[in-house]
Copies of this chain bind each other. A is one copy, B any other.
Amino acid sequence: MKYALLALLTRTPMTGYEIGKQFGTSVGFVWHAPTSQIYPELRRLARGGLLDVDEMPQGRRKKRYSITEAGIRELTDWMNQATVPEPSRNAIFLRVAYLEWADPEAARAQLELMAATFEERRAVLESVLTTLRNRTHPRLAERLQALAPGEHERAAAFKVYAFEGMMESARQQAEWARQGLRLLDGLDTETPPRGEQA
């Protein structure tokens, strides 16, 4: 979370509200949090000197946060130490592994929901990828402006690469869900709906 906020703010200063809205867009694939987690974390980071607060004096209370030198150091320090990717503990595997405890129709409904969800995610990620690749993605363009031209390619490449990974992951999961539906087809024809044995 901490590093997600720091990384986001390397592009441009933002208010907590704006960050919350960003999480509703494509950056939400990379990280997500509700505003109730954002505001306290921003204050904590500001207290720690990693962010600067600009209290906008135009009538309404509004705090725009920007990253400090110390914040950038904190972020790069984190990035420079490699960590092992955490094993993904996703409840969907638990469900699927014990799907014999669901009614056959419920099992089918679950796999259809999975197929639809993963496929939609894949499609969204693919369209994001397209805009990243041809540099029409608005936030990527904005980010590149803040960087030296020599770093453009590197920064853009990593964004594209990250989304490729997420897209491929969604594609693979969608494929897996469809394979599950074919598996059910096989099981249901071999033994009739409520199973006599063999």
Contact = CB atoms under 8 A, between A and B. Distances in A.
Interface of A: 3-4, 7, 10, 29-32, 72, 75-76, 79-103, 106, 109-110, 112-114, 117-118, 121, 148-151, 153-155, 157-159, 161-166, 168-169, 172-173, 176, 179-180, 183, 187, 190-191, 195-198
A100 B198 contact: no
A30 B97 contact: yes
Given A81-B106, A98-B79, A187-B153, A173 B169 contact: yes
B151 A195 contact: yes
Contacts of A72: 101
Query: Which one of A87, A94, A164 has the highest number of Cβ atoms from chain B below 10 Å of its Cβ?
Result: A94
A118 to B, nearest CB: 7
A117 to B, nearest CB: 5
A94 B165 CA distance: 11
Query: Which one of A7, A88, A98, A102 has the highest number of Cβ atoms from chain B below 10 Å of its Cβ?
Result: A98
19 contacts: A3-B91, A3-B94, A10-B101, A31-B94, A32-B87, A72-B101, A79-B95, A80-B106, A82-B109, A83-B110, A84-B113, A85-B90, A85-B113, A88-B88, A96-B158, A96-B162, A97-B163, A150-B195, A154-B195
Residues of A contacting B: mostly:
helix
Contacts of A29: 87, 93
A93 B166 contact: yes
Given A79-B101, A80-B106, A161-B179, 16 more contacts: A10-B101, A30-B94, A75-B101, A79-B106, A80-B102, A83-B95, A85-B117, A88-B88, A93-B162, A97-B163, A100-B155, A149-B198, A150-B191, A154-B191, A154-B195, A157-B187
A102 B79 contact: yes
